[in-house]
Amino acid sequence: MSHPEHAHADHGHAAHGDHHHEMSFSEKYLFPTDHKYIAKQYMLTGMIMAVAAGFFAYAFRMQLAFPGMSVPFFGVVSPTEYNSLVTQHGSIMVFWVAMPVLIAAFGNFLIPLMIGADDMVFPRLNRLSYQLFLLSAILVVVGWFVPGGGFGGAWTSYPPLSAKAEYSLTPAGSSIWLAAVAVEFAAFLLGGINFVVTAMNARAPGMKWHDVPIVVWFICIASILFMASVGPLIAGAIMLLFDQQLGTHFFDPVAGGDPILWQHLFWFFGHPEVYVVLLPAIGICAEIIPVFARKKLFGYRAILYTGIATGVLSFFVWAHHQFVAGIDPRMANVFTITTVLISIPIAEMVFLYIATLYGGSIKFSVPMLWALSFIFCFLIGGVTGIFLGASGADIYLHDTYFVVAHFHYTFYPIAIIGTFAGVTHWFPKLFGRYMDEKLGQIHFWGTVLSFNLIFIPLFFTGLAGDHRRIYNYNNFAELGTPDLQWLRILATVALVIMLIFQVLFVYNFINSIFKGKLAPTNPWKATTLEWTTPSAQPGHGNWTPETMPSVYRGPYEYSAPGRDDDFHPQNVP
Amino acid sequence: MSGDAHHDHAHAEHHDHSKFYIKVWAALFVLFLISVFGTLTPWFFVTIIVGFGIALVKAYLVVRYFMHVDIEKPVVHYALIAGLALMVLFFAAVSPDVLNHEGSRWVNVAARAEMERREAAHAAGEGGHHEAAPAAGHEAPAAEAGH
């Protein structure tokens, strides 16, 4: 790679003459090309979708705790509705909450700011990416209201259930859902190309590869993983759409098709997808921990290389989702080994974060609390994953609530805790104001404690054999375990409490945007470049031509010896 | 004068380029003809070599010259190689499940019946194998019921 150039070099004439001109309403909010506003659009859309997905979880958890009751604000949940609710909860949380917020919103906001560029290198492509994403979100919402209701074949969409309307009972919903997923993938392909090209070509003068902040690295690695893995699933989705609408039999065993082929196509994408959302979240923690521990990130290169190793290994583990699906047992052995292997780089990364904390001057501000709870919760998710990754143990545990609890212990820290960590940390840069610290602390403890209360009971119901795809346990003599019902009720009550605590966050978020205490340019005394721009800039562009930063050192110089203040920003000679 | 010379030079270079691409196109066309007529031969291995081998050569020519990969930066080569490697990985790991019709504890009854029926039809109608295809869909359920 030759010496990096500024992104603004090419469009300098257009952008810099009117560098600080006020943008019109439509330039700013309807058709923005500024990465900061596109980031906010992604974030807002993701949060709205999260409210819907959270509500769905509430409705089906109430049905499990109190079967047949009329759920407040929903009504009686029918079996078909139950399937739809579970499916939509899962797919929305993965595709329309975690992806847009963690990759698209933080990627858009942080990459240009952290590498010292005025914008993405393809701003219009960036706008198209969001517009396609919005279209996909609208499509999936439309799917809830068509005859038959929203798709109910689970977020993994296994055929033959998903391939035939008479099985899934959602003839139109299933095809609309598939189309929405396909459009969404197109949106993230455009976004991912933009992230990688921007990070490769638009870095500030002097910023070498090992001066790039970890979160930028990890968002780029995640984008590459996404681009490399999504092809088989798009091919599979089209084949499944043909099965649904044109009467083909790619995945129909009755006509010689192969349902296992879908599982391979899906999980070849689906497992790297876990790391696609994990890497940005764990990268966010890598930014927060040194700031609030006032200590240099321990082992920058080791963390970077473990991230790359995780990304590469994530392509070799997918069939651990299929141990009981009838795959070749010899392949099960291979995939057990690769799955257990992937815990090595992740565990190393966790150790490096803990080593960063060791001897630091730790301040338990709200972003730091979220980052630390990420490590705690994700650790539980990772350790329980080892049981499921071993094919022998998985034969018993597969499709029980143990699996549900496990992946929520990985995915909740990623999608929810990671998001809260990022939002609370960069809020002063996003909106130019502080969030309320006290409300933030109450929200943190309420959310994290109730989250653990939801899913720890489910480990036990799962170990006791609770099957996960059951509408009403009382319908099955051998599955109706009344002595476990109190655990199901406990999990549901904890969920309701957790959802109530989110009202506090929404209030704090909106109130702080308008009435929060004004924040200075660098409120956390951090070293990375985003803290050198004025908070909440009015116009397109991040720096004036005179203030464009140059980089002299790595991104985590805290407790720097020989300095009066305890940090040494990247742009200060 | 020097401007003219430059112009002539550029023109000649442009001409050379076109000539080169026309050569590649001609090679692709010849390969295409071979792939069409090669499949008409009665030997199975020839049709396989023609079907896959020539397709690979053609893909190589198109990717290398028409998609300009020969003059691209190394990073584009790495991306291509990574894509090919992932394809090989996916195929290798999926084939034990999907290309087999039976395993140690399972049998894909419908697929095997379909294969047997086609083989029988092929053996019965050597030379007239074109008639076998349309009947396939109708007889498959019967074969399924037989098991």
Contact at CB, B108 and A253, closer than 8 angstroms: yes
Contact at CB, B140 and A256, closer than 8 angstroms: yes
* Nearest CB partner across the interface for A255, out of B93, B104, B110: B110
* Nearest CB partner across the interface for B98, out of A261, A268, A329: A261
From chain A, the residues in CB contact with B73 under 8 A are none
From chain A, the residues in CB contact with B144 under 8 A are 254
Q: Is residue B18 part of a domain?
A: yes
From chain A, the residues in CB contact with B82 under 8 A are 228
From chain B, the residues in CB contact with A229 under 8 A are 86
**Whole-angstrom distance between the N-terminal and C-terminal Cα of chain A?**
24
Q: Check whether the bond before A555 is cis (ω within 30° of 0).
A: no
Using the predicted structure, report yes or no on whether residue B108 has a pLDDT greater than 50: yes
Q: Is residue B78 part of a domain?
A: no
Tell me, what's the pLDDT at B129?
A: 44
Tell me, what's the pLDDT at B136?
A: 39
Tell me, what's the pLDDT at A195?
A: 96
- Name beta bridge partners: A558: A567
Using the predicted structure, report yes or no on whether residue B147 has a pLDDT greater than 50: no
How many domains does chain B contain in total? 1
* Nearest CB partner across the interface for B86, out of A228, A254, A258: A228
* Nearest CB partner across the interface for B106, out of A316, A326, A334: A326
Tell me how far apart the alpha carbons of residues B95 and B93 are, in angstroms, rounded to a whole number. Answer: 6
pLDDT tens by residue, chain A, 573 residues? 334 444 444 443 334 434 456 677 777 778 889 999 999 999 999 999 999 999 999 999 999 999 999 999 999 999 999 999 999 999 999 999 999 999 999 999 999 999 999 999 999 999 999 999 999 999 999 999 999 889 998 999 999 889 888 888 888 999 999 999 999 999 999 999 999 999 999 999 999 999 999 999 999 999 999 999 998 998 999 999 999 999 899 998 888 788 889 999 999 999 999 999 999 999 999 999 999 999 999 999 999 999 999 999 999 999 999 999 878 888 889 999 999 999 999 999 999 999 999 999 999 999 999 999 999 999 999 999 999 999 999 999 999 999 999 999 999 999 999 999 999 999 999 999 999 999 999 999 999 999 999 999 999 999 998 899 899 988 887 777 788 899 999 999 999 999 999 999 999 999 999 999 999 999 999 999 999 988 766 678 888 888 899 999 999 999 888 888 889 999 998
Domain assignment of residue B47, given as a range = 1-67
Residue located via tokens 């490399």: A228
Contact at CB, B111 and A256, closer than 8 angstroms: yes
CB A567 within 8 A of CB A556: no
Q: Is residue B38 part of a domain?
A: yes
Size of interface A-B (CB pairs under 8 A): 55
Closest CA to A144 of A64, A101, A89: A89
Tell me, what's the pLDDT at A523?
A: 94
From chain B, the residues in CB contact with A327 under 8 A are 96-97
Tell me, what's the pLDDT at B117?
A: 84
- The contacts found for A551-555 with CB under 8 angstroms, 24 or more apart, are A551/A116, A551/A203, A551/A204, A551/A205, A551/A206, A551/A207, A551/A211, A552/A206, A553/A211, A554/A210, A554/A211, A554/A300, A555/A114, A555/A211, A555/A212, A555/A213, A555/A214, A555/A297, A555/A527, A555/A528
Task: Map out the domains of chain A as residue ranges.
Answer: 35-532
Higher-confidence residue of B123 and A174: namely A174
**Whole-angstrom distance between the N-terminal and C-terminal Cα of chain B?**
87
Smallest CA–CA distance, residue A481 to chain B, in Å, is 31
Tell me how far apart the alpha carbons of residues A16 and A12 are, in angstroms, rounded to a whole number. Answer: 5
CATH of domain A35-532: 1.20.210.10
Tell me how far apart the alpha carbons of residues A335 and A570 are, in angstroms, rounded to a whole number. Answer: 43
Tell me, what's the pLDDT at B130?
A: 45
Complex confidence, ipTM: 0.78
Q: What is the 3-state secondary structure (H, E, C) of chain B?
A: CHHHHHHHHHHHHHHHHHHHHHHHHHHHHHHHHHHHHHCCCCCHHHHHHHHHHHHHHHHHHHHHHHCCHHHCCHHHHHHHHHHHHHHHHHHHHHHHHHCCCECCCCECHHHHHHHHHHHHHHHHCCCCHHHHHHHHHHHHHHHHHHC
Contact at CB, A264 and B110, closer than 8 angstroms: no
Tell me, what's the pLDDT at B126?
A: 58
Closest CA to A263 of A190, A336, A338, A162: A162
Q: Is residue B83 part of a domain?
A: no
